[in-house]
Structure 1
């Protein structure tokens, strides 16, 4: 919880004063997005942005991560603040003057804003170092978009007592959203985002001429039947109070119109908000695919690749975020989310080890209805850069107000 009279006066104004620094870094990153776990240009830009600050910088060994540690002037807790750095493999069609110059890569999820906000929060906190107790760990991580970057950083000792700054007492992250009003902070306690697993199914039959299906074992009807059977399994085998989404999004079979193929392939995603529902669906997916294939005279090989776990916010940490954000930004700019969302986040790995919270920061452009704005992961998504000052202030406030 915040200390009475915590040193947050003027924090939003302070964040606005470093806005040119924030925007410059954000636009540089936006022009040159990098994918996955190897982000050398982004890493170097982060290191350069921190070069004039009194922080200890540690570079990742196996991935392009950056950990910076700022020591306060009095004893206190260790607070971890996360900003993810990677982009998405997609074209950009925003028409922005600082649009991506890298073909097939775009910062469509706002990670460039996360990095810029976190780096500027480090600047604000360095300016207020005499007000800071304990230490702040700035976690700049690659590979959030499906590459388990946070897990790699944890495996390298990020959260260990013998790590760069010792074991964190709390961990926080902000994620910008183009479909929330600019400058608002939205959060909720408990499950916030889903676990995400990948499903891959190979249906094996026997090929033949399309005019004589009785002489073959056609895997296509078996694969088609699996899609419906899997949806039925969700509605009939999982408690309705434990949300699950199962989507088969990729089906491949055959090469031409008059050939029955030997194999058919299904791929999709499983999203769940509890380990109980997740385990139930693992079993059901294997069972349904196996026996549906057998009913058609075929066989099925099922592979489930575990993805990110459920992102679970600590209740006390959410209270800290919402109270602090209300004090800094105005309580009208803070909202409790009515329900989790079924997207996934690898900050879940951190929150499984350290009490903390992830919150959403509104970044809808001015004059645009948030309900109609191109969302994150759209090739046309645009974020209001003014919202970054709010994010910088919240990040800095979470460190300054901790005890």
Structure 2
């Protein structure tokens, strides 16, 4: 079955690469991936079932009984692309996290599995999930679907990553991605003229001090051997050079690998914002924008994937962890799950840039690498 499925995937790659280009040209943001979903649905060999009121798609091929859910992500992000390929996006949005590659690869795997549907070890449930990058999480919608509740025996996903060598597969048991806490800070003060700051309570200055204070949190409030990171990534305040506004806002993310750290640091963030703002005569509050658990790979499933990867001649990467986050972590709260990673470091023509960079562009050969990894994960989970 391993040989047959990989051979069938190979026969679908030319089509999948063409599909990837079309997906890459017109990315859509989470929750509104209507054109993306239509394009994928048209490329599938079976009718895809939309989840009520969303752009999520579910397509099942092969067999009866509980199957293996294989997930890919539909959405892009708000990044202006700066690559020079003919199929680059020009709409201020970008597939800067490889989701176009993941979707095209899963289409290839689904088409290949459909050709072998009478021989498959169990159903392949292809889920093209909406809104991985934005709240509300598309994973939550998938988990709420009654039709999937008892149809799934395990869930797997594959993600490209520039921190892993090209050609290698990262598959490690335990926590591989951090718990993710997204937050919005609002600082409220008293507006006035920039020439008379003493008559105001300046929320811009207060927010600036809040940002500096927050960036000391993980370095001084967390055990140094516990991975944790906090980044404030967006600031908004004011309308003119001489007008002190009444409010200032910021958006940030907190990532932790240990459950105890996550709960405690969330409290510290709120306290830091409130007290630093108060020291400047302002009121500071924090609102949660998203909250995802850590992504934990199931040990038996991980072992099975590593064994089948070796059988297929796919080299395994050295043990690897990341403070990246993914709402795929929610699948692991219900089913045995695994997220594997396909390396991009050293790939032909790949610019060595991080995820979410305007220059991020996996090579077209990455579609095949991801499709083969998805196939290995599906077969491994089918044998549990």
TM-score normalised by length of structure 2:
0.89
Matched, 1:78 2:56: no
CA distance in 2, matches of 1:202, 1:99: 36
Match for residue 33 of structure 1? Answer: 27
Matched, 1:344 2:302: no
How big is the shift at 1:364? 5.2
Among 98, 105, 109, which residue is 1:110 paired with?
A: 98
Q: Deviations over 1:283-312 (max 9, x none)?
A: 112222222223333322222333332211
How big is the shift at 1:355? 0.9
CA distance in 2, matches of 1:63, 1:296: 44
* 1:136–1:399 Cα contact (<8 Å) kept: yes
Assess, with a 3 A threshold, how the Cα gap between structure 1 residues 56 and 200 changes in structure 2: closer, same or farther. Answer: closer
5 Å-filtered alignment, 1:93-104, equals 93-100=82-89, 102-104=90-92
Matched, 1:137 2:125: yes
How big is the shift at 1:82? 0.7
5+ residue gaps in structure 2?
Answer: none
Match for residue 64 of structure 1? Answer: 55
Match for residue 371 of structure 2? Answer: 392
* 2:41–2:47 Cα contact (<8 Å) kept: no
Assess, with a 3 A threshold, how the Cα gap between structure 1 residues 296 and 48 changes in structure 2: closer, same or farther. Answer: closer
Q: Deviations over 1:182-230 (max 9, x none)?
A: 3321122211112222222222333344454444333344333323332
Match for residue 296 of structure 1? Answer: 280
Q: Which structure would you say has the larger Rg?
A: 1
Match for residue 4 of structure 1? Answer: none
How big is the shift at 1:178? 4.3
* 1:90–1:105 Cα contact (<8 Å) kept: yes
* 1:86–1:107 Cα contact (<8 Å) kept: yes
SS of the equivalent of 1:323 reads helix
How big is the shift at 1:67? 0.6
CA distance in 1, matches of 2:51, 2:130: 10
Match for residue 216 of structure 2? Answer: 232
Matched, 1:360 2:341: yes
How big is the shift at 1:350? 1.2
CA distance in 1, matches of 2:124, 2:252: 39
Please identify, of 59-68 and 263-272, the stretch whose mean Cα deviation from structure 2 is larger: 263-272
TM-score normalised by length of structure 1:
0.85
CA RMSD of aligned residues (A): 2.5
SS of the equivalent of 1:334 reads coil
Q: How many residues align?
A: 381
* 2:305–2:376 Cα contact (<8 Å) kept: no
Assess, with a 3 A threshold, how the Cα gap between structure 1 residues 204 and 319 changes in structure 2: closer, same or farther. Answer: same
SS of the equivalent of 1:301 reads strand
Assess, with a 3 A threshold, how the Cα gap between structure 1 residues 400 and 226 changes in structure 2: closer, same or farther. Answer: closer
* 1:365–1:383 Cα contact (<8 Å) kept: no
CA distance in 1, matches of 2:302, 2:234: 37
* 1:253–1:264 Cα contact (<8 Å) kept: yes
Match for residue 335 of structure 1? Answer: 317
CA distance in 1, matches of 2:235, 2:85: 35
